[in-house]
Amino acid sequence: MMIIKKLFWPKLALRELRNNRKFSLFFILNLAMGLSGFIALDSFKESLDLHLGKNSKAILGADIALTTYFPFQEENIKYLESNLPENTKVTRRISLFTMVSSIKKSRLVEVIGVEELFPFYGKIFLKNNGIVQDDNHLKKLNLYDESWVYPELLNILNLSEDENIKIGEKNFLITDLVMDDPSSSMSSFGFAPRIYVGFSKLKETGLLTKKSRVSYQRLYSLPKGANLESIVEKLKNNVKNLKGSDSKIRIISHKNAGNNLGRLLGYLNDYLGLVALIAIFLAGIGAAYLYRNYLSHHFRELSILMSLGATRQQTYQMVLWQLLFLGTGASLIAILISIIILPFLPLLLEQFLPRGFVTHISLSSLFFSIFIGCMGSFVFCLPVLSRIRSVKPLYLFHEHFINNDVEFKLWQQWYSYIPLIMLSWFLSVWQSHSWVVGSIFIVMLILSIIVLCLVALVILRIVGDISQNLNSVVIRLAFRNINRNRLGAISCFLALSMGTLLINLIPQIYQGLQEEISRPKDFRIPSLFMFDIQPDQIEALKKLISEENEVMKYISPMVRARLEKINNEVFKSFNDDSPITREQEREQRFRMRTLNLSYRTELSESEYIVRGQPFSSKYDWDSGLPSEVSIEERYADRFGLKIGDTLTFNVQEILIDAKIVNFRRVKWNSFQPNFFILFQPGVLEEAPATFLASLGGLDQFKRIKLQNKIVNKFPNVSVVDVNRTVKRILSISDQMVLALKLMAYLSIFAGLIVVFSIARNEVEGRLWELNLLKVLGAKFNDIQKMIQFEFLIIGFFACIFGVSVSTIMSYGLAWWFFENFWQWTWGISIMSIIGVISMSVIVAWFATRKLLKSSPLTLLRSS
């Protein structure tokens, strides 16, 4: 007989929410504000992943590729290709970085030689000839001395179409411009624009010598139904059997081609995600506060339901339904907001984004946002929710049933916060793709919340004391009110101070970065950076440069080697599991890298020894002792190296043992030639090396002049204009910071909504007493002043502490990352203090103005 009607409880829950329309509205608004940034970001991320995933074949131009820095050996290729199924198509591709020059200027470019079938996937789009569809276009490239270039190259070199461009010893006619190239998934960093030429023609440039670093690739298109993974596996195993240079062949499947390219954007997303998480947190504080008020008014109704026969489980059920509705509502609104925000994100980040990138919201991120909305509202309200246990219908028999009689001692139920902590921990690890960063972030967040709460309690006490001996009634009442409604005051304080902290912290860190990279009078940063210099070219190059009255500095040899053993244990070069966290990703990159070794008699200005002894002197081959090496501090950390460890390097198939004698700290952003591993002099001098060098203090005119001179005389030497690169990096970090700042503004906005909701709620709860004041003769103005004064005090302290904590944090970060370079951005601090205080007062005024105007008569009737 007693079949429980399934829909009864959700219906009742919905009704209650509808009846408490204002509460529902503000709760949803609060949470939606916090969620929207997060959801927009998630969709953005997913769009990016999807784009990169879809395009991964196009990025590689093939299903599988073999790649190496040495020409392939014919018989080895036959051996490897025997693994491939029938009907596999193959095409060859060569690429190298080199300088090209017009009559006027020169520039580092990436030259790519391709055969007719290239690419198997993706379409190259040319300005004049459109999509490269039939092989005719590519045939022409291989028959004539023609080239297609990236449009930006024309600007840089002051060239126009139909002019010639000199690559190595050969002139190429520019016949078309590459408008879209799927194989460069990120719009290139402006570092090296591309030039496409015929595969056979590239061979004629004379650049494919041992002097330049050339990348040889064989690209394969597999027939339908081929098992990519097993073929990759077989190829990898077979490569292990090869000897000589071909043992270094790498097998790339399209699946890992897409991954690396979005890396930088990935990092940015990580941090954006964390800031967005703070916005959620602030919103959550507001929502929990509102919910607490709602629920305490709601206890009586729960009691009535129980006296009418509802079980405790059923009341829980109803409350959970309510949270579910609220969470879903918040997510839906957040989704709406993020649909509006989303199209603007690509505009913000255009420098990073792949060409042809479009944003969209997928079904899965929709479900995800609803999940986060519901879970979020549940875990944030859990500490309040667990109070339902104390609802007793028994109280209905006592006339003095007090709505608020259930005193909220929030910290007594510490365990009810665990789900909240777990969820935010999960989210932050997941957002930052890093256990370390995510965990540190959460610990910092919780710590700052605890510290700010303690600070708030102390302030409340002081405020309470002060209020005893104040003359002005208005101010005294304001102080009392703050002190009486501690939870509201602390919630506002937290929301405002965290928001202030954020908007201060981000620009301060950025300031440090900017000052560090581009201090104008700092000549430590070189103007030009040269690499691939051959040993026999050094003297001539020096001479050429001294003709211009400049000095070539930091000439550093670079010897390529592989790490074979650490303390006589074979070093595993890299594992094939696809990386999940950023740490794994970095680890793989570290481990894959063939090492660049160097040696120098004296350390450069941008490095110093942090532990261990300097090198003894020149190495003595007859001593029979291992040679001495110095390792960069963080590199050593990564591999768990200790001073005294022995490393065995393979330099051109000769094994060299080396003992670690010291660790160095390197200032990488000095843009000087620096190395993870430095040998003592006397060990590597005979090994084949190329040289790096830098030139400092050149003005723009001289930079161009020298660059051209060098390239004309030494075509294999690559010259990078560091100034340009620095500018590029700065403009990219500008964009990153702008994105982060916007996220921070979103969170302060979320904070202000919290203030709005709390102010409204407070005044509503105190309405009868405010009206009583009116009846007793208080003027409307006085009452309004009192409320404003309350929020002025809260806002003031919140800002002061927000700014202080952010200053301390940025100081710490500066000390850690930027070697003690720190400057207080007092302008931003003062602006944010003034801004946030006035905003909170205005918001409080706005939230309460209507309520305060209500006539005292209404109160006497309703009470």
Partner 1 sequence: MVLEIKNLVKTFKQADLSKIEVLKNLNLAVQKRDTVAVVGQSGSGKSTLLSLLAGLDRQTSGSLKLHGKELGELSEIEMTQFRAENIGIIFQQFYLMPHLTSLENVSLPLEMFGYKESQERALEAMDQVGLMDRVKHFPHQLSGGESQRVAIARAIVIRPSILLADEPTGNLDNATGFQVADLIFNLVQTTGMTMIMVTHNKDLANKCSRQMTLKNGTFE
Closer residue to partner 1 (CB): 16 or 176: 16
Closer residue to partner 1 (CB): 18 or 618: 18
Binding residues vs partner 1 (CB under 8 A): 2-5, 8, 15-16, 18-20, 300-301, 304-312, 314, 392-394, 396-399, 401
Rounded to the nearest whole angstrom, what is the least distance from the CB of residue 504 to partner 1 in the complex? 45
Rounded to the nearest whole angstrom, what is the least distance from the CB of residue 18 to partner 1 in the complex? 7
Closer residue to partner 1 (CB): 20 or 164: 20
Rounded to the nearest whole angstrom, what is the least distance from the CB of residue 394 to partner 1 in the complex? 5
**β-strands 170-180, 146-149: how paired?**
parallel
Closer residue to partner 1 (CB): 308 or 347: 308
Closer residue to partner 1 (CB): 312 or 461: 312
Rounded to the nearest whole angstrom, what is the least distance from the CB of residue 476 to partner 1 in the complex? 32
Q: Assign residue 854 a region: left if phi > 0, alpha if psi is -120 to 50, beta otherwise?
A: beta
Rounded to the nearest whole angstrom, what is the least distance from the CB of residue 317 to partner 1 in the complex? 11
Of the candidates 615, 708, 597, which has an alpha carbon nearest to the alpha carbon of residue 654?
597
Rounded to the nearest whole angstrom, what is the least distance from the CB of residue 47 to partner 1 in the complex? 43
Question: What's the CA dihedral at 375, 379, 380, 381 to 10 degrees?
Answer: 110
d(CA 828, CA 501): 11
Rounded to the nearest whole angstrom, what is the least distance from the CB of residue 3 to partner 1 in the complex? 5
Closer residue to partner 1 (CB): 326 or 423: 326
Rounded to the nearest whole angstrom, what is the least distance from the CB of residue 23 to partner 1 in the complex? 12
Rounded to the nearest whole angstrom, what is the least distance from the CB of residue 767 to partner 1 in the complex? 16
Closer residue to partner 1 (CB): 13 or 276: 13
621 within 8 A of 654, measured Cβ to Cβ:
no
- Tell me how far apart the 2 most distant CA atoms of the chain are, in Å: 105
For the chain, the straight-line distance linking the first and the last C-alpha, in angstroms and rounded, comes to: 42
Residue bearing tokens 């937290």: 494
Residue bearing tokens 């090296």: 192
Please, where are the H alpha helices in 672-779? 700-713, 722-765, 767-775
Rounded to the nearest whole angstrom, what is the least distance from the CB of residue 409 to partner 1 in the complex? 15
Closer residue to partner 1 (CB): 282 or 302: 302
Q: What is the DSSP string of 382-449?
A: HHHHGGGGG--GGGGGSTT--GGGS---GGGGGGGGHHHHHHHHHHHHHHHT-HHHHHHHHHHHHHHH
Q: Which residues pair with 599 in a beta bridge?
A: 679
CA angle, corner 161, sides to 160 and 166, nearest 5? 80
Helix 363-385 × helix 418-432 angle, to 10°: 150
d(CA 853, CA 587): 64
Q: Assign residue 640 a region: left if phi > 0, alpha if psi is -120 to 50, beta otherwise?
A: left
Judge if the upstream peptide bond of residue 614 is cis by omega within 30 degrees of 0: no
Of the candidates 286, 116, 267, 143, which has an alpha carbon nearest to the alpha carbon of residue 204?
143
User: What token pair was written down for 533?
Assistant: 């210099």
Going along 115-145, which residue ranges are E strands? 125-126, 130-131
Rounded to the nearest whole angstrom, what is the least distance from the CB of residue 486 to partner 1 in the complex? 22
Exposure class string for 429-464: b at 16+ Cβ within 10 A, else e: bebbbbeebbeebbeebbebeeebeebbeebbeebe
Rounded to the nearest whole angstrom, what is the least distance from the CB of residue 320 to partner 1 in the complex? 16
Closer residue to partner 1 (CB): 394 or 580: 394
Of the candidates 342, 340, 337, which has an alpha carbon nearest to the alpha carbon of residue 360?
342
Closer residue to partner 1 (CB): 304 or 860: 304
Closer residue to partner 1 (CB): 17 or 370: 17
Rounded to the nearest whole angstrom, what is the least distance from the CB of residue 4 to partner 1 in the complex? 5
Closer residue to partner 1 (CB): 103 or 396: 396
Rounded to the nearest whole angstrom, what is the least distance from the CB of residue 24 to partner 1 in the complex? 12
Instruction: Tell me how long the chain is.
Output: 863
Closer residue to partner 1 (CB): 109 or 302: 302
d(CA 655, CA 657): 7
Classify residue 842 as exposed, middle or buried by CB count within 10 Å of its CB (0-12, 13-18, 19+): middle
Rounded to the nearest whole angstrom, what is the least distance from the CB of residue 289 to partner 1 in the complex? 22
322 within 8 A of 17, measured Cβ to Cβ:
yes
d(CA 254, CA 264): 19
Closer residue to partner 1 (CB): 396 or 422: 396
Closer residue to partner 1 (CB): 391 or 750: 391
Q: Which helix (H) or strand (E) holds 597?
A: strand 595-599
